[in-house]
Amino acid sequence: MTSGARSHLPGAGVLGANAFLDALPHGRLAENVLHFVRVLRVAGLPLGPAKVQDALAAVEAVGIAERSDFREALATVLVSRHEHLPIFEQAFDLYWRNPRLLEKMLAALLPKVRGPGGHSEEELPARLAQAMLPAPVRTRHAEGEETELDATLSFSAREVLQKKDFATMSVEELAEAKALLRRMQLPLPDRPVRRTRASPRGHAIDLRATLRQSVGANASITPLRYRARRRRPPPLVVLCDISGSMDRYARMLLHFLHAITNDRHRVHALTFGTRLTNVTRHLRHRDVDVALARVAGAVDDWSGGTRIGACLEEFNRKWSRRLLGQNAVVLLISDGLDADAGEGLAFEAERLAKSCSRLVWLNPLLRYAGFEARPAGIRAILPHVDDFLPVHNLDSLTSLALALAGDRAAPRASLARAA
């Protein structure tokens, strides 16, 4: 591909600098590296301007004689997360192998690319295609060439899944929610950590502070200074059921997830129905509407079936070791109605309970005192939860806040009764 064809890339103005280009030592190669970094940036890799210089330095150090070295040099500088590696590799293959092939691929991809936006694994080529050629351009070649490439095939296999449309939150609602969430307390007491802070009621003597004080003051008697353990809230992982049976609560739960993700450090949010999706990154957006729109785009299985066992298994395998360090608490929000009729669920629930410090189950279904835990899914999970919050009415944020902050005097008792 000629550099001219790439000049309409988005982000071409990020470095703002043809002057910068001129200053680069390698002419064409430098220019191509620069464009490559832009492509990756648009594809979602967090790459600042300094990375271009780093990449060039790396390429200069390694040389371009060996293709694999060149590739690894760029990867070392430009990739900083394992999950970005596939994007990088595909981009690298597309970009540095055969520029003309790339052009054709993109032309073939374009009609599909305009479809659903999102970040799931299957869509990586789409993201790349968007990054490399975001605006629809007229294909100069006729259909004859299009049939030679089966790039479109990789997308036709994708399930057609329901998307959720979220109404925006009214100003009053937002204000009310904020006020409530400020008062809302999760039933998660702070834990002592190994870090200490100065405290007059501490138990460990703070020698450093004591000595400094003794040197500075004029008294011959030096009072001892003390330190105490710091306390901080434990990391929280929220697993939120968004299947059909939970549909009526979904909107409110997402507001809750957004509020809690932005309110505290160390919160991870995952949604599950028939598949597990980590939505933490999407929820980190300050504006609630933008955040929820992003989640809606990222999650594929709105209001579908529930496969709790399979989703918990996926969590246990793929995420638990990454998210459940440092005494994490898991908040499971689900009605426990499982399409697989509890198949393998007890085992996975037990494993989940064993790998976190506390498993809290928030269930909107168990709201009647005389409710019997008939469904297999509920019976499978119940024995393994530490805290059980039957929520009477989950339709509003108010009631959720009340439920979480409310009287939890006898969770074990209600649990025993329900089981």
Partner 1 sequence: MAPSAQVPASVDQTLALLTGQDYVADRRLATAVFLALKLSRPLFLEGEAGVGKTEIAKVLAAGLQRPLVRLQCYEGLDTAAAVYEWNYPRQMIEIRLAEAAGNIERTELAHDIFTTRFLLRRPLLQALSPEEGGATVLLIDELDRTDEPFEAYLLEVLSDYQVTIPELGTIRSETPPIVVITSNRTREIHDAIKRRCLYHWVDYPDAARELEIVRRKCPNAAESLAREVVAFTQRLRALDLFKSPGIAETLDWAEALVALDRITLDPQTVADTLGALLKYQDDVGAITPDVAARLVREAQAETAKA
Beta strands 267-272 and 236-241, pairing class? parallel
Site stretch for partner 1 (CB under 8 A), options 69-77, 172-180, 396-404, 409-417: 69-77
Annotate each residue in 225-264 with x if it binds partner 1 (CB under 8 A) or - if it does not, as one string: ----------------------------------------
- Is 219 a binding residue for partner 1 by CB under 8 A? The answer is no
Are the C-beta atoms of residues 275 and 315 closer than 8 Å to each other? no
354 binds partner 1 (CB under 8 A): no
Tokens of residue 377, six digits: 């899914």
Provide the minimum distance between the beta carbon of 349 and partner 1 in the complex, in angstroms, as a whole number.
Answer: 14
Examine residue 138 and tell whether it contacts partner 1 (CB under 8 A): no
Cβ within 8 Å of residue 375, ≥6 positions away: 336, 337, 338, 342
State yes or no: residue 3 binds partner 1 (CB under 8 A): no
Q: Is position 25 an interface residue for partner 1 (rule: CB under 8 A)?
A: no
Question: Who contacts 269 (Cβ-Cβ below 8 Å, separation ≥6)?
Answer: 237, 238, 240, 257, 260, 261, 278, 279, 280, 283
Q: Which stretch binds partner 1 (CB under 8 A): 147-155, 291-299, 322-330, 366-374?
A: 322-330
Which is nearer to partner 1, 198 or 211 (by Cβ)? 211
Question: Within 77-96, which residues bind partner 1 (CB under 8 A)?
Answer: 77, 79-82, 85
Angle between helices 67-78 and 85-96 (to 10 degrees): 140
Are the CB atoms for 309 and 343 separated by under 8 Å?
yes
For the record, the structure tokens of 36 come out as 């490559």
- Tally the C-alpha atoms within 13 A of residue 359's C-alpha that lie toward its C-beta: 21
Q: Which is nearer to partner 1, 80 or 393 (CB)?
A: 80
Residues 175-194, interacting with partner 1 (CB under 8 A): 193-194
Nearest distance from C-beta of residue 44 to partner 1, angstroms: 13
Q: Compare residues 89 and 146 and give the one whose CB is closer to partner 1.
A: 89
- Return the residue of 48, 111, 136, 383 that touches partner 1, per CB under 8 A: 48
Inter-CA distances, 197 with 226, 233, 339, Å: 9, 16, 50
Helices (H), 184-303: 207-216, 247-263, 280-283, 288-298
Position 156, amino acid: S
Residues of the shown chain interacting with partner 1 in the complex, contacts defined by CB under 8 A = 46, 48, 54, 57-58, 61-62, 66, 68-69, 72-73, 75-77, 79-82, 85, 193-196, 207-208, 211, 214-216, 218, 265, 316-317, 321-323, 325-326, 351
